[in-house]
Amino acid sequence: MESDSANSPTAPDSAPQPTSIEASRHLQQHQEVRDSVNQRGPSRDFAWFSLWSALMVASYVGVFLFAFSAGIGTAGDSNPDKFSQTSLLVLPILAFTTMTTGARERFGIRRAPARAVWIPLVLALFGMAVLSGLSVFDVPYSRWLIALVALAVFVPLAASAIAQLIRVPRSRTPAGRSPEPLSTPVRWNTAIMGAVAGLLISFGAIPIVSALVMIAALAGIAFTYVLNESAWVLPRVGFEWGWMQWAAFGITTSTLFAFAVLAPLAESPSLAASIAAGIGVFLVMLAASALPAPRDARS
């Protein structure tokens, strides 16, 4: 009889009841899922991230072509410095594209960009390859072509993000996400990226030093691919980073782009100025590694 009484519907449930915080979190997650379904597409946060990514990629194309063409002279008068300067731009864009895969996972994006984005983008990249070939053979061309190619890269990427921002309404219940510290591997990777960028900015004009830094950084990136599902891979960095970390990365990359543009010019920065900028970039990324980042239901 006691067993029947214990199993009866009127018996008190011994399972732990959810707290008010957990109930509020479940309600918030339910509302976010509901808003996502109503949006029928990527969130506004991802649209803003895509717009920022479009600016990053277009800036890279413009800076690369400008720095690569800066040494164009007469036929056969090649300038090896332009190759060393433009090679410095490989690391930030490679790290950025790798981290973007983690950011897309965080925002729950699985599908590839539409054909309307890929077709003009491929044509723009073909134009970039043509202008790079002209620079290799020291064939002069108008600088406005660089701006045209960069714009051709930016427009299709940005148009999709802007359309999403216009189409998707603001959420009725802004997410009250509590910031949390970055995981230890992500903190270390963030600081290491700052150190690498600082060294490239400080000693980018010294080919042997910049080459050694690049080789070490490329080996580190390749090693993260070998780790695959490890927490030390760069996609995990893009998954955990918040807007403050991406802003720090933007400052770092912009500084590296600026030095790549200034280096081939007659009034290139002095070694002291380069070292000061490199230290500043490292401190920015070091601070970003210690800052918390908002976590949501997908995290």
Name the one residue in this structure whose structure tokens are 């070939």.
Answer: 133
Share of the chain above pLDDT 70, in %: 72
Q: Which DSSP state fits 11?
A: S
pLDDT of 7-47, one tens digit each? 444 444 444 555 665 556 555 555 554 544 444 456 788 88
pLDDT of 158-176, one tens digit each? 998 898 888 877 765 555 5
**Would you state the pLDDT for residue 271?**
86
Where are the domains positioned within the chain? 41-294
Residue 214 predicted with pLDDT over 70:
yes
Alpha-carbon distance of 133 to 36, in angstroms, equals 45
Alpha-carbon distance of 58 to 98, in angstroms, equals 17
pLDDT of 91-115, one tens digit each? 888 899 889 988 888 887 766 666 7
| DSSP H stretches of helix in 70-143 | 80-87, 90-106, 115-136
Residue 69 predicted with pLDDT over 90:
no
- For the entire predicted model, the pTM comes to 0.77
**Would you state the pLDDT for residue 279?**
96
What is the SS3 assignment for 293?
strand
Alpha-carbon distance of 274 to 280, in angstroms, equals 10
Q: Which DSSP state fits 187?
A: H
The b/e string for 155-166 (b: 16+ C-beta within 10 A; e otherwise) is: bbbbebbeebee
Cα 73 from chain centroid (whole Å): 35
